[in-house]
Amino acid sequence: MVYVVTGAAGFIGANLVKGLNAQGITDILAVDDLTQGNKFRNLVDCKITDYLDKDEFLARIKAGAYRRAVKAILHQGACSDTTASDGRYVMDTNYAYSCALLDFCAAEMIPLIYASSAATYGALTGFREQADCEGPLNVYGYSKLLFDQRVRRLPPGGPQVVGLRYFNVYGDREQHKGRMASVAYHFFNQYRAEGHVRLFEGSGGYGNGEQRRDFVSVEDVVKVNLHFLQNGGRSGIFNCGTGAAQSFNDMAVATVNGCRVAAGEPALTLVDLQKKGVIRYIPFPGDLKGKYQSYTQADLTALRAAGYAAPFLTVEQGVTRYCQQLLVKT
């Protein structure tokens, strides 16, 4: 029997495969769409049993090819572009695909742990896993919310189904994501190439670079996934963030100082970096107005109640480690 990881060549999916490998699990069926071929690099150092294209995998499960052959599905495959305008594609990839896997897991009575998103909350605050906090600003967020709603309607007595609402995830193996990569990744490359980083000017009532997000390391995201995989009695939808919002300025300072310290240079304060022109501000994009979350912070009440007690890395801790990983690869 195998563990299935969808989106396995992607950012979080590949880190999950590595996380399973670290626990001695190598019976893994990696599922993805390698139309973007450079994603293969994320799997080069991973141990898997087999690889299947997403469409081939769906065809096989619908044909009954994997009956009593799967231990669990860790479903990370999705269109994660929050600015995507092709709603038909987004709904097919994020909603219909997920529904097919849910039906399979229900029939087989096997766990499904899947990627939801903090985009389900939109501009609303509270960030609790309940309807009055949910109001997505784009079709990506809506596709995730619609599947969460289907999961909420599941009758009791079925298999474990866990939806994890990822907040702003950063970390290793995201290099293929282009403009959708984390701000830590973009700040790192900007600083290395140009000696400065660019942040948005103030918006939504926040000052320059002071918009705040719950930035969570992919290392912690993997730990949360594996917690639920190892504790099969827990089902539900749970936030997956640190529970502490930090500013984009914090992220920029941590990234720049991560590079500076590695080069033997002293760390600098935000004010010093602003004065030196290392941190600069650019106009807020017009096309993001009304579609941008200026503040997010995960409410971890449900996650903690589900037994996840481990601390989360702060931006300063996680980004420093991430910069070290990036420096090794460049």
pLDDT for position 84: 75
Q: pLDDT of 10-31, one tens digit each?
A: 999 999 999 999 999 999 999 9
pLDDT at 310 over 90: yes
CA of 53: how far to CAs of 8, 26, 89, 93, in Å? 10, 19, 17, 13
pLDDT for the residue numbered 203 = 82
Continuous segment of H or E residues that includes residue 218: helix 218-230
Looking at residue 224, what is its pLDDT?
Answer: 98
Q: Residue range 49-69: average pLDDT?
A: 95
Q: Is 25 exposed, middle or buried (0-12, 13-18, 19+ CB in 10 A)?
A: middle
Confidence label for 311 from pLDDT (cuts 50, 70 and 90): very high
% of the chain at pLDDT higher than 90: 87
Task: Residue 46: name the closest of 69, 75, 14 by CA.
Answer: 14
Examine the pLDDT at 81 and tell me if it is beyond 90: no
Element counts in the chain: helices (H) and strands (E): 11, 13
Catalytic residue among 3, 66, 121, 140: 140
Query: How many CB atoms are located within 10 Å of the residue 120 CB?
Result: 27
Q: Which two tokens stand for residue 313?
A: 């890395």
Look at residue 82 in the predicted model and tell me its pLDDT.
73
- Looking at residue 280, what is its pLDDT? 97
| Mean per-residue pLDDT of the chain | 95
CB 140 within 8 A of CB 79: yes
What are the CA-CA distances from residue 85 to residues 90, 91, 120 (Å)?
Answer: 8, 11, 17
Residue 162: CB partners within 8 Å, gap ≥ 6?
Answer: 111, 112, 113, 114, 228, 234, 235, 236, 237, 238
pLDDT over threshold 80, residue 277:
yes
- Is residue 187 within 8 Å of 252, Cβ to Cβ? yes
So what's the pLDDT on residue 278?
98
Q: If pLDDT is split at 50, 70 and 90, which confidence band does 185 have?
A: very high
Backbone region of residue 271 per phi and psi (left: phi > 0; alpha: psi in -120 to 50; beta: other values)? alpha
Selected catalytic residue, list 47, 71, 177, 223: 177
When pLDDT is averaged across residues 1-5 and rounded to a whole number, the result is: 97
pLDDT for residue 231: 92
State yes or no: is 18 an active-site residue: no
User: 206-232 pLDDT, tens per residue?
Assistant: 999 999 999 999 999 999 999 999 998
Instruction: Say whether 121 is catalytic.
Output: no
What pLDDT is recorded for position 225?
98
The per-residue pLDDT for range 117-141, each reduced to its tens digit, is 999 999 888 999 999 999 998 999 9
pLDDT at 289 over 90: no
Which tens digits make up the pLDDT trace of 244-276? 999 999 999 999 999 999 999 999 999 999 999
Per cent of the chain over pLDDT 70 is: 99
Residue 34 has pLDDT above 90, yes or no: yes
pLDDT at 287: 77
pLDDT recorded at residue 330: 78
Confidence class for position 61, pLDDT limits 50, 70, 90: very high
Task: Give residue 326's pLDDT.
Answer: 96
pLDDT of amino acid 157: 92
Distances in Å between the Cα of 257 and the Cα atoms of 72, 199, 268 are 41, 16, 7
